Every structure is written in structure tokens, then in C-alpha cells.
Amino acid sequence: MQTNINMTVWFEIPAINFERAVQFYQTILGVEIDSIEMAGMKQGLLPHDDLSKVSGAIVCGMDLKPSTEGSTVYLNGEDDLNTVLNKVEPAGGKVLMAKTHLGDNIGHIAQFIDSEGNRVGLHSMQ
């Protein structure tokens, strides 16, 4: 069995209104999201340092549907989750779980519903 391998390589956050979803994530995360179209599907590529690192995209197409059920993707909340959480509701989302400390070795998490109806998490060590 391999060790030191990252089992997660890619994730997709479904969107009904692609432009609204891209604007939502750009606003709350304070990042630029590059938009492309591939195989008839719009994709908003989340920033990443290296193609070998985990990343993902906001996607619209292929009958993908936003959901609050199922898997939860946790995004990097940087230094303080409250910086991001304070932008969620003004941007059209809803905070589900406030910043919650899980332990000094694990850090903090929070969850929100995005502009499209997806449950998404945030993580930070601070």
C-alpha cells in the first residue's frame, strides 16, 4: 500500500446559475476564479498552486444538481473562518455552523449553504 499519497485529487461544486456561483465564491473567498468550458460544461477553476495539488471547480452542466445532502467539501478558510463566514449571507448564502473548534491539532470548521444550495465547509487551524 502506498503511503504519503493524497487520496483526494479533484472536486466539483454544482451550480444552477454559473455566473452567480462564481461571483459568490469570488466574494466570500476573495479570489479570482478562471472560467473555462470543457466538454459542454462550464467550469470555474478554484485557485491552486500546483497541478499536482488538490483543487476543484464550480461546474454547470451534465445535469449536476446542488445539494445539502451527501459529501461535504471543506475549503481552505485561511487564517480565520470568520473573515469568510461574515461574507456568506451578504453574498446570498446562509451560515449553517459557526466557527467551531475541534481541537488544537485539528483546527476549526464551519459550514454554509452557497448561492446554489450546496452545503460547503470551511477549515482553518486558527
Domain segments of the chain as ranges: 10-124
The CA distance from 38 to 78, in Å, is: 29
The mean per-residue pLDDT over the stretch 15-42 comes to: 95
Q: How confident is the model at residue 48 (pLDDT cuts 50, 70, 90)?
A: confident
Q: What is the CATH number of domain 10-124?
A: 3.10.180.10
Task: Give the model's pLDDT for residue 11.
Answer: 94
d(CA 126, CA 124): 5
